[in-house]
Amino acid sequence: MQKTDIYEFIECMAALIRTEERRKCTELGLQPVHFQLLNYLARCNKYSDTPAATANFLGMTRGTVSQSIIILEKKGYIEKKQDIADKRVVHLSLLPKGKEILQEARPSELFEKAVTIFNSDIPSMSGDKIFAHALTALQKANNSHSFGMCKTCKHFSTKNGGFFCQLTQEKLTSEDSEKICQEHTPQ
């Protein structure tokens, strides 16, 4: 059985986190881009709190960031202040209401559950196994399908020189074994 590389584990964890963020944002009437902007402003310093720096960090166009700033400002989540020394520069900051909505939008319950699961059964691990275990903990905490790569599933096996799914009792092609499966159960 081939090892899954760390990139694949990180990609799956990121997808799971983004899914949970989108769910929470929808509940709160936020767009994911607004969450990302609020999250950045909560973490950036006074040299990085400008619209241009925000756009650069988030990898978004200045237009997208500008429109998001207008919306967030109207909702009372952020404020713009002109720089005292250079009147051309605008600084952005979170208002108390913005800090509150950001806390609500963060998927903290998911991480709390995942940490509990992770710590409860962590054997001595290193390398990619720690990422696989972290991903499994996040998935269990989220009560979600893992959508993992077929060949990393506990139901994956080799039979008569080929690949076989013990769950569906079906033969698998080599190509199938390299793809994401919604029936995936982490080992």
Mean pLDDT of 5-13: 76
pTM of the model: 0.64
Task: List the structure tokens of 48.
Answer: 């990085």
- 3-state percent breakdown (helix, strand, coil) of the chain, nearest 5: 55, 15, 30
State yes or no: pLDDT of 128 exceeds 60.
no
Rounded-to-integer distance, Cα 115 and Cα 141, Å = 9
The pLDDT assigned to 159 comes to: 82
Contacts of 15 (CB under 8 A, 6+ apart): 147
Domains of the chain, earliest start first:
31-105 (1.10.10.10), 107-181 (no CATH)
Q: Is the pLDDT of residue 97 over 70?
A: yes
Rounded to the nearest integer, the mean pLDDT of the chain is 82
pLDDT in tens, 27-50: 999 999 999 999 989 988 777 888
Helix (H) or strand (E) holding 91: strand 90-94
Of the listed ranges 124-128, 140-144, 146-150, 181-185, the least confidently predicted one is 124-128
